[in-house]
Structure 1
Amino acid sequence: MGGKVCGEKRNDAHSVMDFFAPFACYHAMELFGLHINWRTALTVIVIACHYALIAGVILRVMVRDQMEPVVRLTWVMLIALLPIVGVLVYLLFGEIRLNRAKGSKMRTVRTKLSSVWAMGRAADHGAAVDAANSFAMGTATSDFYPVADNRLTMLPQGDAMMDDMIRAIEGAEDTVHILFYIWLPDGVGGRVVQAVCDAAERGVTCRVLVDAVGSRLLIASPHWKALRAAGVKLHRAFPFRNPLVEMLFQRVDLRNHRKIAVIDNKITWIGSRNCADEAFAIKAKYAPWVDVLLRVEGPLVRQMQSVFLADWMLYDDDAPVHLLLESQSHFPPVDDGPVVATGVTGQVIASGPSQSVIGISDTMIAMCYAARHRLMATTPYYLPDMALHQALLAAARRGVDVTLILPEKNDSWVVAAASRSLFPTLLAAGVKLRMYRGGLLHAKIMTVDGMLSIVGSANLDRRSFDLNYECNILMDSPEVADMLDARQAIYLENCHEITVAQVALWPTWRRIYQNLVALAGPLL
């Protein structure tokens, strides 16, 4: 009986291992005389699967197309050194992809808007020779051609710059189209909400699209319900749900960073301003938020309209495209502004990870190589791809007066540290570094030789170039360049200089810290 009981226990043990028979690990070891229990076999299987997963993800990194070698190396190091964390982070953020349904819808929308993407070819030949390459890169990015006879008005600093947009919404007769990355339920945000509600109630067709993450406070506020109750058509861009599920189908941190408002297909604005108070309550300790905003009239409005419609139609196909994209043959009345530039040749450059392998960075690189005398750039975040960084260095080394204006206090400590790791190379090349002390300088501007300029939503960092949906306008106009240089001169009055001597006094721990953070730069 005792033997029978022992036999039953042995049979029970074999039945447990038979559960793992598909793995063949336990039985294979028995063939070679290696007697192990089922727990050891299971451990071996888990370890084998673990390393197989790591090897598989690294192999995927190695076979990905259009990935810079430095980015590829960074991912391989992260996955190898921190396997579990590295694999999870790569699955969440390592690949720029949309789910198939959204990708298909984007292609369909682009086909519907194809006629407007082909407009403006005639102005291409009127561009200055030094601007031609920059415009060509812009066309390669979003298929828009430069168009002439635009008028731009520089708006005052502070919350007063939003008064112009609010007045235009209050006077709208046909359509109000608004897209913001961040729209806060604060003073300015509330005034814009009220103006849009009033427009909708008097019969104007109003469409509002906001980024689901950047404008989450507005969406959760009574303002969002008020807009819907007034008849405003509402949508959220890239709604954020369950990352563990969504990462199987698309990258979860893609954002629509654009700032677009188009009124009656006659007026639009370009700049860095979100729909929020200058005090920016959600990050008040960095306030004031210092932005730039220009009113735009003329053929460029139609290009901005088509960018809005392309984004809107991803969520709602109700827009009468041909009616909304009809060209305007006249300018509406314009209130006097501080500076007005007329006859401007410009081009909208709309970039995004699903749109083109070329981006706004490539246009800025072309601008750097076109520079002969002076280049000035303002950005809150300087962490560009290596090509743009080298282009700035090359401009300074060949004698161009290059000035880079950054905020002294930055709301992103990671980007701030990684950015400062680049200061020694910038200073060694002769770039003038100026740190703004009057709040968080949020403007995104680049001007070249008093002729070529670009302004909009894109920062000089990899997130703007690779992950965000951005919208800028490139212009070939001495008047516009002078306007933007004058605004940057105001910034310079509140700046202090970073010198080679100051950087040389940085303690070793600070250099190590900044350079360690910068190792993750390609992933930021």
Structure 2
Amino acid sequence: MTLLLILHGFLVISFTLRILLRDDLIPPTRLAWFIVLNALPYAGCMVYFLFGEINLGRKANALNQKIHDDIREKAVAHMGAKENVAMLIDPLYRPAFSYAASINGFYPVDGNQAELMADGDETRRRLVADIDAATDHIHVLYYIWLDDKMGTDLAKALIRAANRGVTCRAMADGLGSRGLIGGKLWQSMQDAGVHLAIALPLKNPIWTMLRSRLDLRNHRKITVIDGTITYCGSRNSADPEFRPKPKFAPWVDIMLRFQGPVVAQNQLLFASDWMQATGEALDQFMLTSDTFDGGFAAQVMGDGPTERRGATPQLFATLIANAQTDLTISTPYFVPDATVLEALCAAAHRGVAVTLIFPMANDSRIVAAASRSYYRQLLEAQCKIYEFEGGLLHAKTLTVDGKICLIGSSNLDLRSFDLNYENNILLQDKTTTQTVRNRQQDYISRSTPITLEAVLAWPYRTRIWNNVVATVGPIL
């Protein structure tokens, strides 16, 4: 018994001291860990050992810095210039574009155009058609790549392209696409000459857990074709029926097809991941800067565990603070930190029409509970909340004042904020923003409005469960 008490004290004190020594933790996260360690000391210590530190290791961080330095040195002409913010962006929204540029060096570039895909079928058809028309290169990166119709059609299109001499590079996350990697479809691409790479591979999960975390993932969805076309949005290489979780189908996604100088920035973001995984040099990538008369300003924003902490929530908070009249956000996973939550409430209090659209049926019971714990505070601030009923709303969209739009892979949750590599495009254009707003209105038309009265009428056990989950939310 004495030995157990000594072991118990040693574990709790050791991990408590480690948490207290971490200057990068915000107080709510530190408090959440204290609660877990005291409530479940042995399990809590194991969970902290496996998931408490957000670090890919010194070697990965050093390589990432080297790659980014190389990109900034050799591709500066495609990253945009600091003065572009003042030249291209409305003064009201310059803080958001300047902040986005501070994350990984991409400034707004002019002369872009975008087309919103009507639905999942059109996304698949247009993507395959663009790949079939490629003449020089195709680069794709997906967090989830299944061997369903979407995934198979994409793979076969890459095989056809490789067979006619087009350079094809395909990359998939080691965890999200684990069913595809090493399978017949993956092997068929390799046999055809498609260059393959795995983002954050899991060759030895135990070693990964000892030196890093299994759940540090590459959540990006990037497609670049001939350096002239890129797709950006929430869609993985998977059918809307989403075979791994059919209970929540259809997955409702959004994708934009871009042309213009912003394509080169997305190319560079892909290149940074490819170089990290394969060791290839930037010289292997073709960079172009086609522009379109009357095109709009846009810039790429990429974030991840090797970038500075807090970058994504701070960008969201800046965009929210820049809103003058209206702000609409759709996201499947809403577990905000205090930065984003307070920014939303502050915007609503100062008269901005804040509208939030979440799925009614979420594939994560934990996330759903944490999300709903914030409803009362948001509704009391006069935010409007809608829960989408037509499947799992997976679209990640943000529109501001009918002029500014952010679209990509980032959710408003702590995984996107701290753990995942994400990619987004921030743009200023009334036409494109209005098109995305129309899609948001379509989501709202298929949703149920959530009222403060309904939230206050929730049973005590529901409210307690939601708040308990939210209390440990910072470490989920």
TM range (shorter): over 0.9
CA deviations on 1:208-238 (whole Å, 9 max, x unpaired) are: 1100111112114310110111011111111
Verify: 1:84 aligned to 2:36, yes or no.
no
Q: Secondary structure at the match of 1:365?
A: helix
Alignment match of 1:436 (pick from 377, 385, 388) = 388
Other-structure match for 1:315? 277
Alignment match of 1:468 (pick from 399, 414, 420) = 420
Matches within 5 A, 1:255-274: 255-274=217-236
Verify: 1:421 aligned to 2:379, yes or no.
no
Matches within 5 A, 1:441-460: 441-460=393-412
Other-structure match for 2:134? 172
Other-structure match for 1:391? 343
Question: Which one-letter code corresponds to 1:154 in the other structure?
Answer: L
Q: CA deviation at 1:378?
A: 0.4
**Count of residues paired in the alignment:** 472
Q: CA deviation at 1:493?
A: 1.2
Unpaired runs of 5+ in structure 2? none
Other-structure match for 1:504? 456
Verify: 1:100 aligned to 2:58, yes or no.
yes
| C-alpha distance in structure 2 between counterparts of 1:178 and 1:161, whole Å | 14
- 1:325–1:203 CA distance, 2 compared to 1 (3 A): closer
Matches within 5 A, 1:186-335: 186-319=148-281, 321-322=282-283, 324-329=285-290
Mapped contact 1:141–1:358 kept (Cα < 8 A): no
| C-alpha distance in structure 2 between counterparts of 1:189 and 1:317, whole Å | 26
TM-score (norm: length of structure 2): 0.96
Question: Which one-letter code corresponds to 2:69 in the other structure?
Answer: T
Unpaired runs of 5+ in structure 1? 1-42, 332-340
Other-structure match for 1:31? none
- 1:488–1:466 CA distance, 2 compared to 1 (3 A): same
| C-alpha distance in structure 2 between counterparts of 1:393 and 1:264, whole Å | 43
Mapped contact 1:182–1:275 kept (Cα < 8 A): yes
Q: Secondary structure at the match of 2:68?
A: helix
| C-alpha distance in structure 2 between counterparts of 1:377 and 1:432, whole Å | 11
Question: Which one-letter code corresponds to 1:85 in the other structure?
Answer: A
| C-alpha distance in structure 1 between counterparts of 2:200 and 2:157, whole Å | 26
Other-structure match for 2:21? 63
Mapped contact 2:387–2:449 kept (Cα < 8 A): yes
Q: CA deviation at 1:369?
A: 0.7
CA RMSD after TM alignment: 1.6
Q: CA deviation at 1:80?
A: 2.0
Other-structure match for 2:114? 152
Alignment match of 1:110 (pick from 29, 52, 68) = 68
| C-alpha distance in structure 2 between counterparts of 1:316 and 1:242, whole Å | 18
Other-structure match for 1:488? 440
Other-structure match for 2:90? 128
| C-alpha distance in structure 2 between counterparts of 1:447 and 1:258, whole Å | 20
Question: Which one-letter code corresponds to 2:8 in the other structure?
Answer: H
Matches within 5 A, 1:32-43: none
Work out which of the two has the higher radius of gyration on C-alpha atoms and give 1 or 2: 1
Other-structure match for 1:354? 306
Verify: 1:523 aligned to 2:469, yes or no.
no
Mapped contact 1:265–1:324 kept (Cα < 8 A): no
| C-alpha distance in structure 2 between counterparts of 1:242 and 1:45, whole Å | 34
| C-alpha distance in structure 2 between counterparts of 1:191 and 1:243, whole Å | 30
TM-score (norm: length of structure 1): 0.87
| C-alpha distance in structure 2 between counterparts of 1:137 and 1:51, whole Å | 45
Question: Which one-letter code corresponds to 1:471 in the other structure?
Answer: N
Q: Secondary structure at the match of 1:384?
A: coil
Q: CA deviation at 1:161?
A: 1.5
| C-alpha distance in structure 1 between counterparts of 2:95 and 2:337, whole Å | 19
Mapped contact 1:259–1:274 kept (Cα < 8 A): yes
Question: Which one-letter code corresponds to 2:377 in the other structure?
Answer: T
| C-alpha distance in structure 2 between counterparts of 1:357 and 1:384, whole Å | 15
| C-alpha distance in structure 2 between counterparts of 1:515 and 1:153, whole Å | 41
Mapped contact 1:130–1:370 kept (Cα < 8 A): yes
| C-alpha distance in structure 2 between counterparts of 1:140 and 1:358, whole Å | 12
Q: CA deviation at 1:48?
A: 2.1
